[in-house]
Structure 1
Amino acid sequence: MRFMMFIYPAHHGETAEMTADQVEAMMKYNEELTRAGALLALDGLHSPADGVRVSFSGGRRSVVDGPFAEAKELIGGYWIIDVRSKEEAVEWASRCPAADGDMIEVRRMQEFADFPEEVQDVATLSQDPPEQTSAS
């Protein structure tokens, strides 16, 4: 099962950077995930000040540049892991060398098989190449 782990830094509004010790601890954690064969992807994210939000309403879109003052929790980065169970994903999240006040959210990623059969049928049809017609 694939899970995404989002990290919500406690101090997302500040420009404080990680110390060398914090980076070293996080690198060791990421190496453990890799050695265990669980890590599929990971990335840290830039400040929300550099972000953009695209909202949709009534068939129209609106674009708002960051920072987003109204946001209480902002994602600082993520890991995508492949493990046997939700409990194993939670165990990995619990081992993260996160800073005091940080939070990690663990969510299972949707698999094709999670959808009802009729949805799978429609999705499969849309992936089939169009029929070729030959000129005779």
Structure 2
Amino acid sequence: MTTLFQQNIAEVSVTYSHSVKPSNQLRVTGSKSVYEYVYPLWPDVEYRERFAVLLLSRGLKILGLSWISTGGVSGTVVDAKLIFQVALKANASSIILLHNHPSGELRTSDADRRITTKLKDGAKLLDMDVPDHIILTSESYYSMADEGEM
């Protein structure tokens, strides 16, 4: 028997499909490996800014890549709730933050540093690590961890 109350509550479904067997998952060995894995998948790197997260197992194997937002030529919105939603669903132990700078500029902005700090603080509450935030361009990358900004 369905009541009016039950009819007015939507069912929520969040899915994660890990179609890659653990033995075939790529392992992150540093910022260069992340760039080499992710750059070929990155659409229109010189056109508009995008933000994504790389979801990692405890053994630093890649569980998946999740596109968080697509913006304009000078920025994109980063919603922490969306990031942690996918990280929790994938049972990620750590997340690497990724975004591109269409301008080709590799320096971090104040906004880049603020969102990194915010997400690192949120991850701590969930017993997750944020080992790096990588900025991609068509020619190279910048690792905040490698440069001592993490």
Instruction: State the TM-score, normalized to the length of structure 2.
Output: 0.24
Q: Which structure is higher in strand share?
A: 1
Instruction: State the TM-score, normalized to the length of structure 1.
Output: 0.26
> Considering only CA atoms, is the larger Rg found in Structure 1 or Structure 2?
1
